[in-house]
Chain A
């Protein structure tokens, strides 16, 4: 197992825990993002932190996105003061958005050159879905953030 494989495994395990905490049956792209943001010391985490996105900030942005989207059809999540689900039972499976993010990551470099930043780049390549909407609501310029990630990768190659 390469260093990157080990890193990726850790990212996915943490994303799975995030999905379970959400009561979600699938690991989605936003769970990967939460996982990256929580991984102290990785390049991906540092780039996210440089625009103020630690794990708590990502979580908050996602909650806002959910609230905002519900409000679009006249539903107030505040009306549902639900107890958090007793921990999800089934192991969450990889969902379509997370799969897509990983595919995009893997397509962005040769296997032996893959780094944490490629995972972040794969997530940021989505223009549609929960992550782009949450980032926009948090006032993050996604294209600019992706550029930062690319700059970091260029820096790492030299």
Chain B
């Protein structure tokens, strides 16, 4: 997919609404992807590095939800070598 000059929707309302919808989709994708990674045994530092955000940010955004969903989270010190 490319969003070059040519493919920007001609109507500003459509272009702006697309931004809103993409953010929503990205949030959903992030939630699913983080859950998948944590279920597969990834650690917070690994997930945060992959997402390019701080560990605090990713933890704050997802920890409670994952704990509530019964995902077993690796703690610091559990790192496998």
Contact = CB atoms under 8 A, between A and B. Distances in A.
- How many A residues are at the interface, by size bracket? 20 to 34
B22 A75 contact: yes
B65 A130 contact: no
Interface string B47-81: 00000000000001111111011010000000000
Contact of B31 (A69, A73, A85, A130): A85
A85 B22 contact: no
Nearest to B71: A86
A104 B28 CA distance: 30
B9 A75 contact: no
Contact of A87 (B1, B17, B29, B68): B68
A63 B25 CA distance: 12
Interface of B: 1-3, 7-9, 13-15, 17-18, 20-22, 24-25, 27-29, 31-32, 35, 60-66, 68-69, 71
Interface of A: 22-25, 65-66, 69-70, 72-75, 77, 80, 82-83, 85-90, 128-130, 133
